[in-house]
Amino acid sequence: MKRLVFVFAFFVGFTGTEVISGNPDSLVIGNFFSEALTHPVAYHNLGFLCNNFQGRLCGTLQAEKAVAWVYRMLKEMNPDTVYLQPLTVKRWERGEKEVARVKSSAVGKQVLNICALGSSIGTGSKGIEAEVVEVAGFEQLDDLGREGISGKIVFFNRCANPTWFYTFNAYAEVVALRARGALYAAKYGAIGVIVRSATLSHDDYPHTGIQHYADSVIRIPAVAVSTNGADSLSAWLKVDHRLRLFIRTTCMELSETGSFNVIAEIKGTVHPEKIIAFGGHIDAWDLGQGAHDDGAGVVQTMEVLRLFKQLQIKPANTLRLVVFMDEEYAQRGATAYASAVGIKNESHIAAIESDRGGFTPQGFSIDATDKQVDLIRRWQPLLEPYGYWSFAKGGSGVDIGPLKKYGFPLIALVTDSQRYFDYQHAGSDTFDKISPRELQLGSAGIASLVYLIDKYSNLLAP
């Protein structure tokens, strides 16, 4: 009891709020969680999104249908404003099911589960076939040089480090091989690359994701192989270091096309010109349903508007939901939004992104000044009863990242990361992997933070 009294007194002292009985902020936050956990609207919305708009990579018909659905759902919520922000996106098509076969007299004919990496060129209808050279990183390519690599398929096989507790750190150590492997190997004359999936899980799902070319370097096909497949290929190479690998993909980049961010607002009653933005990205890779990445973030932030409307809370500042397009491929939606903020000279108080899966929320990562971080941290006791224990200075998100130049706090919802990379960019990222309770806890937490930022916005001024 003494601890609760201390927390209460500390927060009242910080805000300057005069309280006669009970903490009014605690009561509002409790109502957010009660409504979200009693009525799992976000969970049902995510089910519809996943089951009806699978493969919604930017530029696809499924992506545009998803945009139309989000727009329609937001109109039904009856906020003050709903509109589409136009942008132009790149377009890439996977084509036919990818094929990878091992040819070896020592290990026989073996099949690998692969998928083309985003933006990769195809192999052509006849495929490619060559010996394989296995490396763990770019340094080994430098050591082998053109003599050891030219005419071969480079196999990047670096396991994600399981000793990291925060799995985003493990991912960060290996993702460069996916993103730049083809570019680097092509410099030494490789005809293709096959990259171990950037995940800690051991399964048969290959994980896709964007990879990058350069105009000055020849483009070669790039595919990912499942972690089980990578282990097998590595073992086979130890038996027969001259084995050959056949790969066939038919992916291609198409002409650019139009698309949209979807934006909805509840206007502020005191400072409508000041904005608190929040959102996630509607696009998703085509192998799965995009449940955790990032359908969860979309429905959670849509839910913020519903919670404010349902509880009849009228914000002092404008609340703006931004459903971003094209986070996965070229971040055109993020660029378009940030550019519009500058052109219109809009005043933002903060921006919040949910793009770390619909897992149990643990807190928020805050990209802001030390003073602003310390102020936001003082709200942590209000959310701690709901599992929000971490309010830390750190990064935010890909879609709100371009807003950093404007100098206001950027905040990311932080979830339990242990299973996120099991599913990210893989065929296993499906709605059945979502816990309704964990998802709704995230919705209520974001709504609570938006409420606190709105109420005490003057304290966050730079």
Which domains does the chain carry?
2-90+255-460 (3.40.630.10), 95-250 (3.50.30.30)
Alpha helices (H) along 187-318 = 227-239, 296-310
Lowest-confidence segment of 11-20, 31-40, 335-344 by average pLDDT: 11-20
Distance of CA 432 to the CA centre of its chain: 18
When the pLDDT of each residue in the chain is averaged and rounded to a whole number, the result is 95
Using the predicted structure, report yes or no on whether residue 173 has a pLDDT greater than 70: yes
284 with 57: CB under 8 angstroms?
yes
- For the stretch 367-392, what's the b/e string if a residue is b when 16 or more beta carbons lie within 10 angstroms of its beta carbon? bbeeebbebbbbbbbbbeebebeebe
**Which pLDDT score is estimated for 212?**
98
Using the predicted structure, report yes or no on whether residue 22 has a pLDDT greater than 70.
no
pLDDT of residue 1: 38
Is the pLDDT score of 150 beyond 90? yes
How confident is the model over 300-317, as a mean pLDDT?
98
In single-letter form, the type of residue at position 18 comes to E
Of 15 and 163, more confident: 163
Beta bridge partners of 128: 247
Q: Locate tokens 């300057």: which residue?
A: 16
Would you call 117 exposed, middle or buried from its count of C-beta atoms within 10 A (0-12, 13-18, 19+)? buried
Rounded Cα–Cα distance for residues 225 and 243 (Å): 17
Residue 2: which residues within 8 A CB-CB, separation 6 or more? Answer: none
6 falls in which pLDDT band (50, 70, 90)? Answer: very low
Strand partners, 347: 274
For the segment 422-428, the average pLDDT, to the nearest whole number, is 98
Instruction: Calculate mean pLDDT across residues 96-104.
Output: 97
Report the sign of the C-alpha dihedral through residues 445, 162, 428, 246, in that order: positive
How many angstroms separate the CA atoms of 245 and 260, rounded? 41
Measured over all CA atoms, what is the biggest interatomic distance in the chain, rounded to whole angstroms?
Answer: 83
Going from the C-alpha of 37 to that of each of 294, 314, 404, 441, the distances in angstroms are 20, 22, 33, 7
Q: Which DSSP symbol is given to 255?
A: E
